[in-house]
Structure 1
Amino acid sequence: IRRGSRCSTAKAFIRPVRLRKNLHVALNSHVTRLLINPITMQAYGVEFFRNGKRHSVFARKEVILSAGAINSPQILMLSGIGPEEHLSKFKIPVLKNLRVGENLQDHVAMGGLTFLVDKPIAIVQDRFEAFAMTMKYVVSGKGPMTTLGGVEGYAFMNTYLGNRSWPDIQFHMAPASINSDAGRRVRKVLGLTDQLYNTVYKPIANEDAWTIMPLLLRPRSRGWVRLRSKNPFHYPAINANY
């Protein structure tokens, strides 16, 4: 967080060292596979596309794969590391038969536990559009507009169903509701049907409300990430297996 707004990893870590001679950041580059020596099984480079052209870069030391929970297994499988049966289906040479992409765990949440409050303390779209409030945020980085996503409190707890050594439930608490923006954006992001929205949330449009959202921290469900094809530009197949 910086001056009341989210601070990206680019601003926090890359921008301060962007002038280093040993740092080069390639924008708009799509990694297609790792370059791996099939004898030593050591990664020695990366293949990527940029502006429609294929490029290869080679490492003198290490190659670090950090493409997230979805694209990391996709890149590994495209590089020949993954379930042998799955890779063989796409005629990808198998370098190492491993259960890559077979342990997907999702942070499941349930929204909609909303309660009305009788004081003007919640996030309401019409109230946020006031000029004075906007200028306070722009000039000083302060005020209600600094609330990140509406969440103002967290709680972690153990239930009798989980291991007592660590929490298995998390709560997000926010002075807002799904309809705090009068149905302009949030309902679309969450994919609410018109019937559900009109029945439950439309009647409380722009009302002061408070919401608590429980999240599952230790899901038992294990999903998977798999290739749709050997084309690195195709999105992978994702199954959370709830």
Structure 2
Amino acid sequence: MELTRLTALIVVVFAVGYAVFFRYKNKPSVGESIVSDKISDEYDYVIIGGGSAGSVLASRLSEDANYSVLLLEAGEHFDYDQNIHIPVLTFQFLRSNLAWHYQSETENGMFLGLKDQTTLLNRGRVLGGSSSINACVYARGSPFDFEEWEKKYRCKGWGYNDLLPYFKKAEDIQIPSLKTSAYHGTGGPIAVSESLSTPLSKYFIDAGKEMGYMETDYNGKSQTGFSRVQNTVRNGVRSSTGLEYLGKPGKRQNLHISVNSFVTKIQIKEKVATGVYFIKQGRKQFVKAKRDVILSAGAFNSPQLLMLSGIGPKSHIQDLDLPLVQDLPVGEKFDDQINIAISTKINQSVHLDKEKAQGLWSLVEYTMFGTGPLSSLADSVAFLHIDKSKMGKERPDVMMILVPTTFDDSSMFNYNESVTKELIYPYINTPGFVAMISLLHPRGTGTVRLRSTDPFDSPILDTNHLTNKQDEDDLLAGIRMFEELVSTEAMKSIGADISINEASFCSHHQFRSDDFWRCMIRHIAHNFYHSTSTCKMGMKGDPTAVVDLDLRVQGIKNLRVCDASVLPSVTSANTNAPVMAVAEKFADMLKKERH
């Protein structure tokens, strides 16, 4: 007994010692040191928002000491809470003070099983933005997405071949088998590593092969197929843009970073953006921009701030008695994905056991080696076509992410208490997994509108999910593909069983009938945090575009937008990777303009 206690004590002491070293080595407390105490009256560039795009831009534009840059971030620095660097804690931070707590409006016949019948639309409010609180999935989208940008939306210069060098520039691939790939980069700021592999991932990928799909690098030549998830994680630490682009290079004299700085309006005189108003420590301030004001506040805050500054749909601006500066379709297209979580029981211990995942040894493994359950959330992923004849010819329709455990927390989904009691609580300790089934390209798009002229009021966010019946049909097709997957020999061998989804609120329909699944979609499907296109780019003069191909706000000088809002359409995956690539490309464009 004494020997056991002594051994345990030695392990704990060693773990604590290593933890101090690990934290110093991989989680530098540089948040405070890069934040500026004083702000000048004027800068060459004023960037609004230090998120996935804004952090990239601030870092790249300040590489030349001859140009001054101010980054205004409404939230805290990324070291406000050191646990933000732990990938598995994403749900904890989605509902913290490091997030914008946005949600949709109540929509007819949708979100019936969610609290207040609304879906959550939270976003990062911290240096690094949503890259600091997301699930760390690194997914660029399909090459066909960017072909569509170039051909359908006529965004010349923004095609796949244009953006691939910037995906690679941002990336530091950590996966040995991909280090020599022509599709991946090394030495960039953002680490990309392979997710934690549970035995379940092999069964998932083998099931995909039985369905006729290949195991693939979904960020390579072809996205379609099954794969382990690639994560923005370095040695177990979240590789956010705040940490990697701002923290690691350290303080620069020509880059001032001001946190807790809430921008309320862009000043525009005679169609020229001259500066911005912001509130910090309860005091309203103004700062001038000599070259450009760059709006990188995200898919919701960027359109909100443009409209508060008089740029937006004429009728909406005038209805709020705001002075109209420029009539543009701001917030007219809110593109996103819709998701449904389907739980599955199994009878083999190949999943991620919650007790082990949350236990002492998991903590020791993470602290000592940066590996284990705390280092990643998702396990494997599939990108699928509803019509298999379109494989290799078009982008995929459905994404299926495998989470190798059953959930004990419904906060991501916003389920109401009765749904949570029925679908979550009874299965907390049940061996199993969850499949997140996402419709990647819904036909229905939403809108973003001002709720009032108060900049502290959240905008009105209408997703308009499933207003197009084909979207419901396509999400149903995604569920049917998952049913096909759990019927494979690979999944049968571990006793895969989806009967735990037989919810009482849809029991008036036969379980697994079309009507049953449609009922489930209407109750528990939710938005998937991949919002784009609210300030979409297009050719100069395009009446559907807010910014031109140089990301200039049409009709306004010295005002640019660069974040998820400028994407012409949502990509076939998570949106963090394409936003970083767009920001890298835009930074190069601005550097060329200087000369």
Which TM bucket (shorter chain)? Answer: 0.7 to 0.9
1:161 deviation in Å?
A: 10
CA distance change for structure 1 residues 167 and 27 in 2, over 3 Å: closer, same or farther? same
Question: C-alpha distance in 2, partners of 1:73/1:162?
Answer: 39
Counterparts of 1:46-85 in structure 2, within 5 Å, are 46-85=276-315
Superposition deviation, residue 195 in structure 1 = 3.1
Where do residues 1-40 of structure 1 align in structure 2 (5 Å cutoff)? 1-38=233-270
Taking the aligned partners of 1:194 and 1:53, their CA distance within structure 2 comes to: 41
Give the CA deviation at 1:188: 3.7
The structure with the greater share of residues assigned to strand is: 1
Is 2:406–2:428's contact at 8 Å kept on the other side of the alignment?
A: no
% of aligned pairs identical?
32
Residue 228 of structure 1 is matched in structure 2 by 451
**SS class of match (2:291):** coil
- Structure 1 residue 162: Cα displacement: 11
- Check the 8 A contact 1:33/1:48 in 2, yes or no: yes
How do 1:81-230 residues align onto structure 2 when only pairs under 5 Å count? 81-111=311-341, 113-147=342-376, 149=377, 151-160=378-387, 164-178=393-407, 181=408, 186-230=409-453
Partner amino acid for 2:296? S
Distance across 2 between alignment mates of 1:155 and 1:171:
5
Output the amino acid matched with 2:306. Answer: L
Q: What is the identity, as a one-letter code, of the residue corresponding to 1:93?
A: P
CA contact (8 A) 1:109 1:215 kept: yes
Alpha-carbon distance, 1:83 to partner: 0.8
Count of residue pairs brought into register by the alignment: 231
Letter in 2 for 1:11: L
Aligned residue for 2:307, secondary structure, equals helix
Instruction: Indicate if the aligned counterparts of 2:303 and 2:331 stay in contact, CA closer than 8 A.
Output: yes
- C-alpha distance in structure 2 between counterparts of 1:51 and 1:20, whole Å: 24
CA distance in structure 1 between the aligned counterparts of 2:459 and 2:417, rounded to whole angstroms:
30
The offset of 1:25, in angstroms, is 0.6
Deviation string 1:82-111 (CA, Å, 9 cap, x unpaired) is 011111122211111111001001221111
**Distance change (3 Å), C-alpha of 1:196 and 1:162:** farther
Mapped to 2, the partners of 1:187 and 1:88 lie a distance apart of 40
Amino acid at match of 1:204: Y
The answer to which of 72-81 and 166-175 deviates more is: 166-175
Residue 199 of structure 1 deviates from its aligned partner by 3.1
Distance 1:236 1:195 in 2: 29
Distance 1:90 1:167, change over 3 A: same
Letter of the 1:25 partner, please give it: I
Q: What code does the residue aligned with 2:297 have?
A: A
Q: Deviations over 1:107-133 (max 9, x none)?
A: 21111x222223323233322232122
Measured after TM superposition, the shift of residue 77 of structure 1 is 0.3
Q: Which amino acid aligns with 2:442?
A: P
Taking the aligned partners of 1:5 and 1:15, their CA distance within structure 2 comes to 13
Conserved in 2, the CA contact under 8 Å of 1:152 and 1:174?
yes
Counterpart of 2:416 in structure 1: which amino acid? Answer: T
Letter in 2 for 1:64: I
AA matched with 1:155: A
CA deviation map 1:49-99 (0-9, x unaligned): 111111111112121111110001000001110011111122211111111
Deviates more, 1:119-128 or 1:52-61: 119-128
CA offset digits 1:16-36 (Å, max 9, x no partner): 233211101111010111122
**Residue 188 and residue 10 in structure 1: after superposition, are their counterparts in 2 closer, same or farther (change >3 A)?**
closer
Report the RMSD for the aligned CA atoms in angstroms.
Answer: 2.0
Measured in 1, the distance between the counterparts of 2:258 and 2:420 equals 43
Distance in 2 (CA, whole Å) between partners of 1:72 and 1:167 is 29
Query: Normalising by the residue count of structure 1, what TM-score does the alignment of the two structures yield?
Result: 0.88
Paired letter, 1:44? T
Does the Cα contact within 8 Å between 1:123 and 1:176 map onto a contact in 2? yes
Letter in 2 for 1:209: G
In structure 2, do the counterparts of structure 1 residues 194 and 124 end up closer, same or farther at CA, with 3 Å as the change threshold?
farther
CA distance in 1, matches of 2:389, 2:328: 29
- Do the aligned residues in 1 keep the contact of 2:410 with 2:424 (CA within 8 Å)? no
The TM-score with structure 2 as length reference comes to 0.37
Q: Distance in 2 between matches of 1:162 and 1:241?
A: 29
Q: Please, which runs of 5 or more residues in structure 1 have no aligned partner?
A: none
Comparing 97-106 with 167-176, which one deviates more in the overlay?
167-176
